Amino acid sequence: MEFSMSKIANLKDLFIEQLRDRYDSANRQLGFFPTLLKEAKTPELRKVIEELQKKTRHHLETLENIFLELDADIGGEGCEATRGLIHEATEIISRSTDLQVREAGIAVSIQHLNHHDISGFGTCQAYAKTLGYKKIMETVGHMLNDEKNIDRELTNISTHSLNEEAMNPILG
């Protein structure tokens, strides 16, 4: 969903642009999750992807409500960073010749997307605070916490199973 670029004249404009970035990113990720679910075989990794998919759908609805509250249009530039991260993830998946390595690659690819989300929601939360949008700041804070929790889950399964299992081709 591409739209023409509008001028960014003040912090509110920048805030809205960052919210649009989050919205487009979430849409792109939702389109990519079916691919990840098709490729992921580990039950723990599939569970995280399914949870992330559910939370991302909720984030889209929440962002739509924020746009309504701000009386702002959702449309804006597409999130090029997310587009690039999804492209990289697709490359890792297609080039991985070992199942365990592919699983570790899927996990790190999700974490790259997730870290982008953490940064984006953290910025939006800070802007909302500065602009005096207390309710929006709290709402964005909940989305930020969702992303941080997913990151912790991915780190946990990566460090306790996926990465170790991916070592097998080296040790074999």
Q: What angle do CA 92, 95, 100 make, to 5 degrees?
A: 75
CA distances from 149 to 32, 34, 82, 92 (A): 20, 21, 20, 24
Which residue would you say has higher pLDDT here, 114 or 166? 114
Residue 126 burial (CB count, 10 A):
14
pLDDT average, residue stretch 105-124: 96
pLDDT of 30-64, one tens digit each?
999 999 999 999 999 999 999 999 999 999 999 99
**pLDDT tops 50 at residue 3:** no
Residue in 167, 148, 153 with CA at minimum distance from that of residue 104? 167
Chain-centroid distance, C-alpha 81: 11
pLDDT average, residue stretch 86-104: 93
The pLDDT of residue 160? 73
pLDDT of 59-83, one tens digit each?
999 999 999 999 999 987 789 999 9
- The rounded distance, in Å, linking the Cα atoms of 21 and 1 is 11
Cβ atoms of residues 137 and 87 within 8 Å: no
- The rounded distance, in Å, linking the Cα atoms of 38 and 43 is 12
The pLDDT of residue 161? 73
Domains of the chain: 11-167 (1.20.1260.10)
The pLDDT of residue 14? 96
- The rounded distance, in Å, linking the Cα atoms of 33 and 14 is 28
pLDDT of 117-153, one tens digit each?
999 999 999 999 999 999 999 999 999 999 999 999 9
DSSP summary character for residue 74: S
- The rounded distance, in Å, linking the Cα atoms of 172 and 170 is 6
Q: How confident is the model at residue 2 (pLDDT cuts 50, 70, 90)?
A: very low
